[in-house]
């Protein structure tokens, strides 16, 4: 009888700690959504299956609702947004670079590619379109080489994440390729998306639906045949099974075996711009879950109290530059891989996720309080 209160307190404290640090064991449902609703506010969408998601106001940084926002998960190609935030300001758009074999060394097997060829010269702006529209890992590696190499770029990305307050992100590859120990969170991806919208160049690239990618110039000055590339973000371009979302600005989608489908999407309506991040839906489409969250966010305008805020507060993209694509989509976007089967998608590091964050520290405190109370109760009963 004496042991039962102790066990109950330990279990309660452990549940608080597990929910706060974002560790969800395989087969266990995601924690409930965070939302402070006024009586007139719409209910959150039904059927959301993503392990983690965030809805935030791009201008104020207010987080309107979320589920497990700090859960550590593989980000897939959405990590390319941090790559762009890090490298894009350093390289002039018109700079030409001739691709060497070393530039493409280390490109992961099965990586998405835009079609960069060794021995040909490309403008930086064209390489960025290859990154944003076709998620080209080959373009990422060339730009990383221009930045001083992959390892330097990884170090730079870690520093940039730290500057942005992205405490949930650990970079191990510049392109989001599945790499042991690499993770991010829905919260951090929203940070990256918001910071990107404050940069006109980033905003233009991420909102371009269709572009012409050059064949490059060889050593003899001959220009290769160019070809059309279309953005793989289905909410931007639309496909036979996904309608384009009205007012969508774009940003970045991703997919790997470990990450499942991931997405950062931003849309503008009236005088409001929202950012939604969705990580690894366990059923259904990442695009439809993002669509339902955007719809909810616009319907909840001024009807919900924020549950948090994107750091740093100084980032305020009050004026967003939504670039118009050079041409309208003329063909259906290349289909994305099928949804991965349900999986926990976590790394060994996830068990320690958020322990040093304010929420994680609060959870540790709650656990300690539970332990102290249980020990006091045990001692009191023993005295009897």
For range 153-158, the mean pLDDT: 98
pLDDT reported for residue 218: 81
| Residues 23, 70: Cα–Cα separation, whole Å | 9
Query: Mean pLDDT lowest for which of 63-67, 195-199, 235-239, 311-315?
Result: 311-315
pLDDT reported for residue 316: 42
Query: Do the bridges between strand 62-67 and strand 50-57 make them parallel or antiparallel, or are there none, so unpaired?
Result: antiparallel
CA angle 233/239/245 to nearest 5° reads: 60
Asked if pLDDT for residue 14 goes beyond 80, the answer is: no
Asked if pLDDT for residue 19 goes beyond 60, the answer is: no
Q: Tokens for 206, please give them.
A: 């991420």
Q: List Cβ neighbours of 122 (8 Å cut-off, separation of 6 or more).
A: 96, 97, 99, 116, 142, 214, 216
State percent of the chain over pLDDT 90: 64
pLDDT level of residue 85 (50, 70, 90 thresholds)? very high
Higher per-residue confidence, 38 vs 303: 303
pLDDT reported for residue 37: 55
Asked if pLDDT for residue 81 goes beyond 60, the answer is: yes
| Residues 66, 35: Cα–Cα separation, whole Å | 7
CATH for the stretch 40-353: 3.40.710.10
- Span 122-144, pLDDT tens digits: 999 999 999 999 999 999 999 99
Asked if pLDDT for residue 175 goes beyond 60, the answer is: yes
pLDDT reported for residue 36: 56
The residues annotated as belonging to the active site are: 77, 80, 135
pLDDT level of residue 25 (50, 70, 90 thresholds)? very low
pLDDT level of residue 321 (50, 70, 90 thresholds)? very low
pLDDT level of residue 261 (50, 70, 90 thresholds)? very high
pLDDT level of residue 314 (50, 70, 90 thresholds)? low
Asked if pLDDT for residue 84 goes beyond 90, the answer is: yes
pLDDT reported for residue 339: 32
Of the candidates 157, 120, 172, which has an alpha carbon nearest to the alpha carbon of residue 142?
Answer: 120
- Span 102-118, pLDDT tens digits: 999 999 998 999 999 99
Q: Which residues of 21-41 are buried (b: 16+ CB within 10 A; e: fewer)?
A: bbbbeeeeebbebbbeeeeeb
Asked if pLDDT for residue 364 goes beyond 90, the answer is: no
| Residues 67, 278: Cα–Cα separation, whole Å | 10
The β-bridge partners of 266 are 250, 275
| Residues 156, 159: Cα–Cα separation, whole Å | 5
- In what side-by-side order are the strands of the sheet with 50-57? 248-256, 260-269, 272-281, 50-57, 62-67, 308-309
pLDDT reported for residue 324: 37
CA 17 to chain centre: 24
Higher per-residue confidence, 36 vs 161: 161
Asked if pLDDT for residue 201 goes beyond 70, the answer is: yes
| Residues 145, 276: Cα–Cα separation, whole Å | 31
Query: Domain coordinates of the chain in residue numbers?
Result: 1-22+356-384, 40-353
Higher per-residue confidence, 220 vs 191: 191
Three-state SS letters, the chain: CCHHHHHHHHHHHHHHHHHHHCCCCCCCCCCCCECEECCCCCCCCCCCCEEEEEEEECCCCEEEEEECCCCCECCHHHHHHHHHHHHHHHCCCCCEEECCHHHHCCCCCCCCCCCCCCCCEEEHHHHHHHHHHHCCHHHHHHHHHHCCCHHHHHHHHHHHHHHHCCCCCECCCCCCCCCCCCEECHHHHHHHHHHHHCCHHHHHHHHCCEEEECCCECCCCCECCCEEEECCCHHHHCCCCCCCCCCEEEEEEEEECCCEEEEEEEEEECCEEEEEEEEEECCCCHHHHHHHHHHHHHHCCCCEECCEECCCCCCCCCCCCCCCCCCCCCCCCCCCCCCCCCCCCCCHHHHHCCCCCHHHHHHHHHHHHHHHHHHHHHHHHHHC
pLDDT reported for residue 313: 58
- Span 328-340, pLDDT tens digits: 333 333 333 333 3
Of the candidates 27, 36, 31, which has an alpha carbon nearest to the alpha carbon of residue 15?
Answer: 31
pLDDT level of residue 27 (50, 70, 90 thresholds)? very low
Residue with tokens 């931003």: 266
pLDDT reported for residue 38: 57
pLDDT reported for residue 220: 79
């Amino acid at each position: 009888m004496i042991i039962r209160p102790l066990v109950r307190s330990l279990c309660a404290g452990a549940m608080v700690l597990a929910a706060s640090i974002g560790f969800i064991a395989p087969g266990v449902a995601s924690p409930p959504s965070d939302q402070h609703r006024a009586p007139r506010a719409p209910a959150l969408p039904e059927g959301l299956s993503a392990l983690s998601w965030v809805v935030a106001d791009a201008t104020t940084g207010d987080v309107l609702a979320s589920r497990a926002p700090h859960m550590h998960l593989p980000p897939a190609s959405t990590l390319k947004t941090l790559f762009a935030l890090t490298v894009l300001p350093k390289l002039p758009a018109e700079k030409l670079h001739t691709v060497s074999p070393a530039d493409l060394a280390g490109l992961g097997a099965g990586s998405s590619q835009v079609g960069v060829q060794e021995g040909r010269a490309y403008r930086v702006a064209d390489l960025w379109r290859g990154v944003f529209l076709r998620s080209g890992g080959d373009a990422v590696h060339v730009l990383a080489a221009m930045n001083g190499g992959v390892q330097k770029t990884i170090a730079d990305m870690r520093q940039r994440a730290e500057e942005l307050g992205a405490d949930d992100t650990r970079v191990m590859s510049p392109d989001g390729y599945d790499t042991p120990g690499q993770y991010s969170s829905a919260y951090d991806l929203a940070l990256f998306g918001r910071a990107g919208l404050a940069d006109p160049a980033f905003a233009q690239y991420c909102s371009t639906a269709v572009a012409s990618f050059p064949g490059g110039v060889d050593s003899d000055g001959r220009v290769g045949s160019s070809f059309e590339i279309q953005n793989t973000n289905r909410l931007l371009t639309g496909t036979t099974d996904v309608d384009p979302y009205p007012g969508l600005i774009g940003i970045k989608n991703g997919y790997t075996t470990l990450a499942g489908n991931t997405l950062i999407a931003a849309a503008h309506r009236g005088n409001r711009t929202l950012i939604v991040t969705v990580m690894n839906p366990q059923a259904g489409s990442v695009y439809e879950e993002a669509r339902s969250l955007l719809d909810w966010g616009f319907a909840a305008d001024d009807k919900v109290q924020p549950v948090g805020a994107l750091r740093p507060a100084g980032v305020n993209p009050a004026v967003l530059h939504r670039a118009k694509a050079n041409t309208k989509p003329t063909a259906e976007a290349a289909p994305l891989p099928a949804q991965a089967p349900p999986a926990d998608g976590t790394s060994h590091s996830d068990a320690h996720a958020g322990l040093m964050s304010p929420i994680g520290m609060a959870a540790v405190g709650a656990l300690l309080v539970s332990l102290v109370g249980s020990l006091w109760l045990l001692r009191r009963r023993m005295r009897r």
